[in-house]
Structure 1
């Protein structure tokens, strides 16, 4: 298998690493799939099925959060704080301050 070596600036590398972790891939695996997408004549998006799962999960969690918030606003606040901590640890929040 041919090998390609190239340099990335720090912010691009960090963004690709976050994307790879989010897709449960190595950086090499992510880049291979992105390159495959770039040469795909149909121009389909590589991670479509994962995006559909994510969209469904967000809808379910939104409904659950609404229900919990109506029954226990303090419980919702604690759960959201815990979720922000976990997301920040995994580099899944936008911006340097997590906002």
Structure 2
């Protein structure tokens, strides 16, 4: 097994500790998980430092989907199927949850 040693800025180390604790993992287990994802052989997009932008997009899309669903449920269903297809093509849809 390879071993690495990394020095972190204290603020970064603290943020990582918080993320690891939130995931119920030790810092080492959390770091291994992040490194495994970053080395994904299928080249999927793993993470983003733009969490706030993603959160806002999700909120906007949720409001839009609710509105469309109220007015045209069949249009919403078609759009969701098209979205799944695009996500699947880009490796962004977990096959285990793709049901």
Normalised to the residue count of structure 1, the TM-score between the two structures is: 0.53
Residue of structure 2 aligned with 1:14, choices 41, 65, 81: 41
Please tell me whether residue 89 in structure 1 is matched to residue 54 in structure 2. no
Please provide the CA RMSD for this pair: 2.7
Deviation of the 1:18 alpha carbon: 1.1
Please tell me whether residue 64 in structure 1 is matched to residue 90 in structure 2. no
Deviation of the 1:54 alpha carbon: 0.6
Moved over 4 A (4+): none
Specify every segment of 5 or more residues in structure 2 that has no aligned partner in the other structure, as ranges: 1-35
Deviation of the 1:96 alpha carbon: 4.9
Rounded to whole Å, the distance in 1 between the matches of 2:87 and 2:54 is: 14
Specify every segment of 5 or more residues in structure 1 that has no aligned partner in the other structure, as ranges: 1-8, 24-46
Determine which structure has the larger helix proportion and give its number. Answer: 1
